[in-house]
Amino acid sequence: MSKADGYREQPPAFFRNLVCLWSRPEDIVAVARTSITIAADRHESGSAKPRNLLAACIVHALHDGYTDGLYAFLPIWQSQFRLSYAGLAVVRALYYGTMGGLQLPADRLLQGVAPRTALVLATLIAAAGFAVMALPLDFAGLCIGLFVAGIGSSIQHPRGSMLVTETYGVASRRPLGIYNFSGDLGKATLPALAALLLPLLAWRPVLGLMALLGLAVTGVLIGLAPSVAAHGNAEEAPARARSVQRGFGLLTLIGGLDTATRMGYLLFLPFLIHGRGGSSATVGVALALLFIGGAFGKASCNWLSERLGVIGSVMATEAATTLLIILTLFTPLAPTLLVLPVLGIVLNGTSSVLYGTVPELAPGGDTSRAFAIFYTSVIGSGGLAPILYGAIADHSSQAIGIVSAGLTAAAIIPFVAALKPSMRPTD
């Protein structure tokens, strides 16, 4: 028997199986259904990642825009309700304090709730708060609306960060940087929009439009984000048996000090520019330059951390922050304006690296609670730091206040070095 004859009598297993399969049409249907399901699952998993990230970024931009957009209304409220500066600070604290103080309770209350549901709820509540402020309920309505809006925004930060982390797994550092950067887009857009509308409309209709924007974002969320996050690279997630409580505590402290540096310098920057002979318009330009640099820093510093590691990149940015802050004390107006975008990169960019490290050091792997604790520290520090640095300047000088803010960044460096044992060897 020739090889050819043997081939004809004993066809390969592939062809024998194909003939058997073809003789049973129901098997063909089952295989086709399985193949389609697998392909669809793979497509859904891949497409869910950018959708989830986009959903988290849109919500972050809206809520941060809500937070900073309130600044545009403060002079109007002060005039209409005859508020002192202290009274105005208390009114703003109804939103800012509620948002910061309820991070942990809100996260605990919504534990187990799907990230999409939590973000939809957060946006609806915040929009409802703005809608209450838009109603003709006088000062009491304004206060109630600020409190309700603060409740909604307290949900957003930990749950939005959690959505990104669940979606990308151990590869979430860069997406978290994008999520962090999106908040700056909201801060730049919504306050400017409110400032443009206020000369044309009364303040209550403008708040009503902001509430409608929140409802529109809610509709986008429902159509955009799947109810269950797609876990990325879950098989690569490190199994860390021992607790990282100490490392997370240090990270939280570092985040608070980093925010204190930023808010302290922002407190003095307008006065610094005026002292150099700058006008109010120049102050606006200076702030814009600093914020543009900050937005670029949030988008780029994670790239730096991939080259230098978390420890090296944070040390580098905090050292540069200290030097550049002190440098602005000695430069004339034009060089100061040139320095500000570079200062903004390191002043704001560190936060993206820190946020991206939260999932790695989350105690017990509870990332959502870790983000809630971290944001509570950051927001609380942002509220208290200007008061502290202002008191230092009141009892000494503006220059001493600015130097104190700069030295706070330098003080972070030893804490970052102490963080190293808690990090992965690659960091």
Rounded CA-CA distance 284/367 in Å is: 38
Q: What is the pLDDT of residue 149?
A: 92
CA angle 114-233-370, nearest 5°? Answer: 50
Q: What is the arithmetic mean of pLDDT over 189-200?
A: 83
Nearest to 109 by CA among 368, 379, 376: 368
SS (H, E, C) 200-244: CCCHHHHHHHHHHHHHHHHHHHHHHCCCCCCCCCHHHCCCCCCCC
pLDDT at 398 over 50: yes
Q: Which CATH architecture has domain 51-237?
A: Up-down Bundle (1.20)
Looking at domain 240-427, its CATH superfamily turns out to be: MFS general substrate transporter like domains (1.20.1250.20)
Q: What is the arithmetic mean of pLDDT over 302-309?
A: 76
With bands split at pLDDT 50, 70 and 90, how would you rate the model's confidence at 304? confident
With bands split at pLDDT 50, 70 and 90, how would you rate the model's confidence at 323? very high
Q: What is the arithmetic mean of pLDDT over 90-96?
A: 80
Average pLDDT over the chain reads 77
Q: Kindly list the distances between the CA atom of residue 44 and the CA atoms of 41, 52, 65, 236, 278, in Å, as whole numbers in the listed order.
A: 5, 11, 31, 20, 54
Q: What is the pLDDT of residue 86?
A: 63
Q: What is the arithmetic mean of pLDDT over 328-347?
A: 91
pLDDT at 427 over 60: no
User: Could you tell me the two tokens for 265?
Assistant: 């310098």
Q: What is the pLDDT of residue 31?
A: 40
Q: Which strand (E) or helix (H) includes residue 353? A: helix 333-361
Q: What is the pLDDT of residue 295?
A: 78
Please indicate whether residue 374 or residue 24 has the higher confidence score (pLDDT). Answer: 374
pLDDT at 314 over 80: yes
Q: What is the pLDDT of residue 245?
A: 66
Ranges 184-188, 239-243, 368-372: which has the least confidence: 239-243
Q: What is the pLDDT of residue 212?
A: 94
Q: What is the pLDDT of residue 425?
A: 54
Please indicate whether residue 389 or residue 72 has the higher confidence score (pLDDT). Answer: 389
Q: What is the pLDDT of residue 65?
A: 86
pLDDT at 18 over 70: no
Q: Kindly list the distances between the CA atom of residue 166 and the CA atoms of 57, 93, 196, 336, 412, in Å, as whole numbers in the listed order.
A: 15, 32, 38, 42, 29
Ranges 90-94, 198-202, 338-342: which has the least confidence: 90-94
Q: What is the pLDDT of residue 307?
A: 79
Read off φ and ψ for residue 75, nearest 5 degrees: -60, -35
Q: What is the pLDDT of residue 181?
A: 80
Q: What is the pLDDT of residue 3?
A: 42
User: Could you tell me the two tokens for 63?
Assistant: 């809520």
pLDDT at 344 over 70: yes
Q: Count the neighbouring beta carbons within 10 Å of the beta carbon of residue 92.
A: 18
Q: What is the arithmetic mean of pLDDT over 286-300?
A: 80
Q: Where in the chain is the domain with CATH 1.20.1250.20?
A: 51-237, 240-427
In the chain, what is the greatest distance between 2 CA atoms, to the nearest angstrom?
108
User: Could you tell me the two tokens for 270?
Assistant: 């307008």
Rounded CA-CA distance 422/361 in Å is: 8
With bands split at pLDDT 50, 70 and 90, how would you rate the model's confidence at 423? low
Q: What is the pLDDT of residue 89?
A: 67
Q: What is the arithmetic mean of pLDDT over 33-42?
A: 40
pLDDT at 279 over 80: no
Query: By percentage, how much of the chain surpasses pLDDT 90?
Result: 16
Q: What is the pLDDT of residue 37?
A: 40
Q: Count the neighbouring beta carbons within 10 Å of the beta carbon of residue 319.
A: 15
With bands split at pLDDT 50, 70 and 90, how would you rate the model's confidence at 277? confident
Q: What is the arithmetic mean of pLDDT over 204-219?
A: 92
Query: By percentage, how much of the chain surpasses pLDDT 70?
Result: 80
pLDDT at 87 over 50: yes
Q: What is the arithmetic mean of pLDDT over 342-356?
A: 84
Q: Count the neighbouring beta carbons within 10 Å of the beta carbon of residue 363.
A: 16
Q: What is the arithmetic mean of pLDDT over 298-313?
A: 77
